[in-house]
Amino acid sequence: MAQSLVLASSSPRRRELIARLGIEPSRIAAPDVDETPLKDERPRDYALRIAVSKAMAVPRADNEVILAADTTVAAGRRILGKPADEADLRRMLALLSGRRHHCISAVAVIDRAGTLRTRISDTTVAFKALSAAEIDGYVACGEGMGKAGGYAIQGRAEAFVRFLQGSHSGVVGLPLFETRALLVAAGLPLA
């Protein structure tokens, strides 16, 4: 029986990234998971918990492999989720301005046998010092709403990045090196 991949995400960015591995998911399933951080939860633990929760929330047929991921932006131990509004987005950008932060992407794969495997990509990103006008302009473009940490590195915010160490695809939302390793371990034929 041929295996098929289920992408447990409604993110168009994750679908675009998985296509770079030469894979087209047989179906997309948006898991309904509460993404509220637990009290005193560390960013790495949070990202892993959410990725696993997303994978477990999607029903799986016998021939299906489930792929889920979560990307979290962390400034120190602070988890920066998706901004609630423009004021929250401004606060996040001001916090990231002129400093390094971490983009932690956790990937979870459940294979045909029901075995769960996980990997984490931790990328360090340094933003230039942002002026009030740059923050205003980025908020006005609307790109940062709905994005962890309030920015999309694959968009205008890439011009704010003065240094990146790690996985660019992980910052976008799906670290391809780790994802490929997990899918190969799950038995999916990849070139």
| Residues taking part in catalysis | 70
- CA angle 92/98/99 to nearest 5° reads 75
* C-alpha to C-alpha distance for 102 and 76, rounded to whole angstroms: 8
End-to-end CA distance of the chain: 19
Q: In terms of Cα–Cα distance, which of 116, 110, 127 is closest to 171?
A: 127
Angle between helices 86-96 and 132-141 (to 10 degrees): 140
Residues contacting residue 40 through CB under 8 Å, at least 6 positions apart: none
* C-alpha to C-alpha distance for 93 and 85, rounded to whole angstroms: 13
